Amino acid sequence: MYLEPEPFAALVAPAIDRLVAGTMAAGRAAGGAEISQRYGGPDATGFLVEFRTRLAGPGGAVTPAGFAAVTRYRERAACLRVLDKQVAHGMIRRGPEGWVQATERGHAFLTEIYAMHATLTAGLWSGAEARIARLAETLGRLLAAAEHTAGEAFAAMAPPYEPDGTPPGVLLLNRLGTLRYHRADAHAAAWRAAGHTARSITDLGPGPERAAIEADTNRRAAPPYAQLSTEERLHLLADLAALPN
């Protein structure tokens, strides 16, 4: 029962969150923070890291709608002030219609971040090459399937930038990070359908209403997992659980 698509969507989400959040934190400790400081610190680089799967690519741009969707739980004026700082640092540029792109300096920063993540994941997941390859292949299929039910945040991040020769660990980390936005959009659609705003859903505590929204989130997040067999879902969980972060 728990491996059917809807309950599985709830089961796999924290496993993905653990691996992405933990690996990104390890990256900051392993050199990411130092790289960021060389380019001006978090005020100059924060959104480049957050939107790296789109902005690292040649011509990669994030639309105003995509930016708003990814930052939906943050105060909009504060986000725009941070974005202004990153423009002032020469890391990001804004187009006339509000889209965001990395500058040449921003691309240089992201190249270093990708290289750091390659070194990090190669060490962190050493000996798990077969598992990494299997997970990356499965995540590629899930991302392709997710496009059919995607919202604005997922569209802002997908498909992740994967130049030729991208190491398997970086493929996996960025595919996992991108897939999280499919569930994020599903959750936003669920609380909007229940009459909530980003502020009110953040303040909503446990109870029947919260449970109903979470159930609707799982329903909306489930379609990509329907592309996997029951055995593949089980392997996905086991492989995620086996990787350290």
Phi, psi torsion values for 127, nearest 5 degrees: 90, -5
Give residue-wise pLDDT tens across range 97-138. 889 999 999 999 999 999 999 999 999 999 999 999 999 999
Q: Is the pLDDT of residue 1 over 90?
A: no
Crossing angle of helices 42-50 and 76-88, rounded to 10°: 110
Alpha-carbon span 226 to 2, nearest angstrom: 13
Burial tier of 78 (Cβ tally within 10 Å: 0-12, 13-18, 19+): exposed
DSSP state at residue 225: G
Going from N- to C-terminal start, the domains of the chain cover 5-242
Instruction: Give the contacts of 30 (CB within 8 A, at least 6 positions apart).
Output: 116, 119, 120
The pLDDT-based confidence of 33 (bands split at 50, 70, 90) is: very high
**Strand positions, DSSP E, 98-240:** 100-102
Q: Residue 245: pLDDT band by 50, 70, 90 thresholds? A: confident
Is residue 11 within 8 A of residue 237, CB to CB? The reply is yes
The phi and psi torsions of 114 (rounded to 5 degrees) equal -60, -40
Return the closest-CA partner of residue 160 out of 53, 26, 43: 53
- What's 140's DSSP letter? H
* Euclidean distance between CA atoms 133 and 169, whole angstroms: 8
Euclidean distance between CA atoms 105 and 125, whole angstroms: 30
Rounded Cα distance between 101 and 51, Å, is: 10
Average pLDDT, the chain: 96
